[in-house]
Structure 1
Amino acid sequence: MAAQTSLLYTSGLTIGYQAGKNKVKAVAGPLNLELHAGQLVCLLGPNGCGKSTLLRTISGLQHPLNGGITLDGKELKKLKPAQIARKISLVLTDNIRSGNLDVYSLISLGRYPYSGWLGILTEKDKTAIDQAIKATGTEAFLGRKIDSLSDGECQKVMLARAMAQDTPLIILDEPTAHLDLPSRIQLMRLLHQLAKETNKAILLSTHELDLALQVADQIWLMSNGGQLAAGLPEELVLNGSFQHAFDKDGIAFDAATGTFNIHYEGKRSINVIGEGAAAFWTKKALVRNGFSTTQAEGNVLTVFVTGKESDLLWKLEENNKSSTYTSLREFLNAL
């Protein structure tokens, strides 16, 4: 792989907030992190672990308690707000809902670091806006008012505004928070695509663990103890970081499937033999109904899952006796 350009890095960064007149509370650190051009980085972690504090600190909205942040080769603390605005686009969770503002006008606000508060757009500004609209697929919304948009449409418009700002780094704080499942999938896929096609670094906080595991080039995984593990999604699954960060009573992260198991371990074990989707969902149904599934030999109870689609069969064997069922419901009722 080709060497990646380091766009932002932190050195011994400690983040926190003012906890009183003369007190500060450290949330996490020291953190040594890097952001590279062309990467989508997902920031994950439990509520209250400091994700928003980290994003606000990196974007210059909040001062670090200790350590340094370097942005595009310069110390962040030495940059003026106008200079930062040409390097970082920030999309917060609060949607802009103004009945008098149309979509094109909102996207155009992304050019304020270049056009000033007068908002006089040059041809270069208009080109950047048009490119942002095309990249985010928001052409169909241009004639509408902001308050007429769905949450998913509004989030895409906010992303278009950030794209129009044309910064090397885009930071989003929980952009999928108020979206339905299809919209969450579309937005995460769009962010992944934009990072690759525009060579921008995109950093977002999210609770969408399953989607982050599919689209993120890197994951920053924060825990309530102030620690942060950074690496490839697959690395963090294999080294146990996900299990540690989200471990709570009755909830276990399954490294084999990349999902959480919310059910208690069953008292009786079933050997599930089969491949493909039918065997996978049979195991899910068994776990939900209080069984443990295994493929170890020597179990008394065994089910063979065979066939495809409408021709599926479940053959249950126990104590040298066997029964065959033509539906999952029928099989479960027989247990």
Structure 2
Amino acid sequence: MDDRGLRLDGVCAGYPARRGRAPRRVLDGLEATAAPGELTVLIGPNGTGKSTLLRTMAGLQPALDGRVLIDGVAVEAIPAAELARRLAVVLTERDLPALLTARELAGLGRHPHTGFTGRLSDSDREIVTWALEAVHAAHLADRPVTELSDGERQRVLVARALAQEPAAILLDEPTAFLDVTSRVALLGLLRRLARERDLAVVVSTHDLELALRVADRIWLLASGGLLQTGTPEELTLAGVIGAAFDGDELSFDPASGVFALRTGNGGRVRVTADGIHGPLLERALSRAGWRTCRSGDDTFTWSAGSDDEAVELAVRHAGDGYVAAFDGDVVEFATLPELTAWSRRTADTLVETSPALLPAAPAAVSGAAADVSTVGGYFALEIDQVEDGWRPLADLFTDPGVLAERITAVAGRLGTAERRVAASILFQGIAARLWSPPLGAVIAHDLIVDLDPRRVHWQAVTGGPLPLRAAGLDGWQIRDPARIAEHLHRTVVTELLEPLAAAVQGVVKIAPGLLWGNAASALAGTVRALARVRPELTGAAAALGRELLAMPPLRGTGELAEPAPGHPFFVRRSCCLYYRLPGGGKCGDCALIDPDARRDQWARAVRESQGA
């Protein structure tokens, strides 16, 4: 067994009997070792006995039981002069001799070696100079102690301890009066000296977060006098740090090694940001009352909130601003203070009302999009990086030239000079593309995909469904089914189809009723496609379709009938003008079809779907 360093052997620390009073045992049965070459940091809540233990280790008060050993020899068995050469003590000293210079104060550390005269030899002075240089205080040597800052004074006191040339140094709260920079510098200095001089260094401090970052070994004194030792990582994993220090307002976060505010009214938040923005967002949202839990931290992205965990709020750093998703709304903020103020108000609303929609994890949105894409081309939505040649969906609403170009291309493909017909067919095709992915995700996964027109991109093709791609999209897990139709209507109709209809009418004169009939027909076609490929989803799809058709501006455009169970069909009340194409005829939803002929069509479709 290596006897070097400082060792506690069954130590009981406290206060001896006085004037008829029984001894008071503060700490009992302590076993621990501070090894040479290591920085050992003593931590613990107030009142647990840290100073009492250090004074006992220094021999300033006797142990009530057990032994304190230095290099295998009990402290009480070492003569005072010899102990002063082997063990240095730095206490929290505010009042120092006013007339001493820094060099003279450091020189006091040589007195255990100078004998009765107390005079320093040339060799002693060389050691004092070395000690000042070791703590980066040589430039302070000739300055009066009274002119030194707290940080400078602590460095000189450490130099005084080094000048003793001890085997071990004990320091009681040396960082107590220092600013953050000075605290970090001093503990870093002590760790370096422990390594370079092979010293056993024991420091008590209340700066827990700093201690966990710089200490080689932690001695944790918990309430009740229990001493637990280990590396910072060992004690963190064992949960003893949080158990000792968690309070009503702060709790220890083992992943970051720092204390976080306990939350108020808010729920859970998922944060995604690059670099420093992630931790800053976490702290700001914690103050606002939100709870975060970290799921990963790699070179590129910091994320808090696990991907498979239900959260009430999702926040991401985007460009020069921030985007927050809460209860079906996506809100943008230019600055972090604006986001923080909003998130505080939002957290307060959770006291009385739970959100009906929860922000879905990116993986859940991507998975739902991939799954419903298998239903058919109109349901396809790629979640992938957007490359050159793809344009934001918003261009179709905001750039009349782009929309006019698409209408002309459709007219050419259909072989008609009727731009109203081409505009009608283009609108219905785009409406089918915009209905299909979100409706499919809702029915199959209870998840609403938010087709943000700035993040969804399209690519021009000569025929077939319009390709859609996005690098990533927001989505919503449904907590209250009653909100589904309302939010899906807003996502598709209010935010996409209404701007598209207005843009079409700005390019071609066309009746709005015709366009909304097309939108309703596209919705019904989406329901039929789901019923055909995923028959188990038919009932839910048809019910949601009817809810949406009852909402303006789709109300009155037609009826989603079901002449046979599991076979929905749409009867529209306005014409799409398809009959005006050369050889166009009438579509299955056409308002011009005779009712008897329609019933025959339905019956034939039902028989064919059943294999008859």
**Superposed pair shares fold, TM > 0.5:** yes
- Tell me by how many angstroms 1:24 deviates: 0.9
Q: Contact between 2:3 and 2:72, CA under 8 Å: does it hold in 1?
A: no
In the alignment, the residues of structure 2 paired with residue 135 and residue 123 of structure 1 have an alpha-carbon distance, to the nearest angstrom, of 18
- Measured after TM superposition, the shift of residue 97 of structure 1 is 2.3
Q: Match of 2:353?
A: none
Q: Which residue is 1:84 aligned to?
A: 83
Q: Which ranges in structure 1 are unaligned for 5 or more consecutive residues?
A: none
Greater RCO, CA 8 A, separation 6+: 1
**Matches of 1:69 and 1:93 in 2, distance apart?**
22
1:66 & 1:272 partners in 2: Cα distance? 53
Give, in whole Å, the separation in 2 of the partners of 1:104 and 1:79. 29
CA distance in 2, matches of 1:167, 1:17: 27
Alignment-mate amino acid for residue 177 of structure 1: A
TM-score w.r.t. structure 2 length?
0.51
Give the drift of 1:195. 1.0
Residue aligning to 1:206: 205
Structure 2, unmatched stretches of 5+, are 293-304, 344-612
Aligned partner of residue 86 in structure 1, secondary structure: helix
Where do residues 126-145 of structure 1 align in structure 2 (5 Å cutoff)? 126-145=125-144
Q: 1:157 to 1:237 in 2, by over 3 A?
A: same
- Judged with a 3 Å threshold, the aligned counterparts in structure 2 of structure 1 residues 298 and 77 are, in CA distance, closer, same or farther, namely closer
Q: 1:31 to 1:319 in 2, by over 3 A?
A: closer
- Which letter maps to 2:157? M
Point out the structure with the larger helix share.
2
1 CA distance for matches of 2:261 and 2:342?
24
Name the counterpart of 1:329.
337
* 1:277-328 residue CA offsets vs partner (Å, 9 max, x unmatched): 212211211110112233344435322223xxxx433222345543333321
Structure 1 pair 298/54, CA: closer, same or farther in 2 (3 Å)?
A: closer
Cα separation, 2, equivalents of 1:207 and 1:227: 17
- Cα distance in 1 for residues equivalent to 2:271 and 2:4: 48
Contact kept? 1:266, 1:292, Cα under 8 Å: no
The structure carrying a bigger strand percent of its residues is 1
Task: Encode CA deviations 1:112-161: one digit per residue, 9 max, x unaligned.
Answer: 11102422222331221121011011111111111121111111111111
- Structure 2 counterparts to residues 61-100 of structure 1, below 5 A: 61-100=60-99
Instruction: Write the distance in 1 (CA, Å) between the matches of 2:256 and 2:17.
Output: 41
Correspondence 1:303 to 2:302 = no
What amino acid is the match of 1:42? V
Which range moves more in the overlay, 4-13 or 228-237?
4-13
Is 105-114 or 273-282 further displaced after alignment? 273-282
Pair 1:300–1:268, CA change in 2 (3 A): closer
Q: Deviations over 1:211-264 (max 9, x none)?
A: 111111001010121101111011111111111211333332111221122333
Preserved CA contact (<8 Å) 2:252 2:259: yes
The CA RMSD measured in Å over matched residues stands at: 2.0
Kept in 2, the 8 Å contact 1:51–1:205? The answer is yes
CA distance in 2 between partners of 1:240 and 1:216 (Å): 18
Do the aligned partners of 1:6 and 1:34 also contact (CA within 8 Å) in 2? Answer: no
Compute the displacement of 1:93 (Å). Answer: 0.7
Matched, 1:16 2:24: no
Instruction: Mark the CA change 1:84 to 1:256 in structure 2 (over 3 Å): closer, same or farther.
Output: same
1:155 matched to 2:191? The reply is no
**SS in structure 1 at match of 2:210:** helix
Instruction: Please report how far the alpha carbon of residue 275 of structure 1 lies from its aligned counterpart in structure 2 after TM superposition.
Output: 4.2
> Contact between 1:271 and 1:301, CA under 8 Å: does it hold in 2?
yes
Q: Which moved more, 1:16-25 or 1:174-183?
A: 16-25
2:322 aligned to which of 281, 305, 314: 314
Q: Give per-residue Cα distances to partners, 1:72-127, cap 9 Å, x unaligned.
A: 12222211111111110111112342222122111111011110242222233122
Deviation at 1:4, TM superposition (A): 7.3
Q: Percent identity?
A: 37
Q: Is the 8 A contact 1:5 1:37 kept in 2?
A: no
Residues 263 and 290 of structure 2 are in contact (CA less than 8 Å); yes or no, is this contact kept in structure 1? no
* 8 Å Cα contact 2:260-2:283 kept in structure 1: no
Measured against aligned partners, the alpha-carbon deviations of 1:158-188 in whole angstroms (never above 9, x if no partner) come to: 1111111110101111001111222112111
Whichever residue aligns with residue 125 of structure 2, its letter is K
Aligned to 2:123: 124
SS at match of 2:325: strand
Please say which structure displays the higher CA radius of gyration. 2
- The answer on 1:53 being equivalent to 2:52 is yes
Q: How many residues are paired up?
A: 329
- 2:268 corresponds to which letter in structure 1? S
SS of residue paired to 1:98 = coil
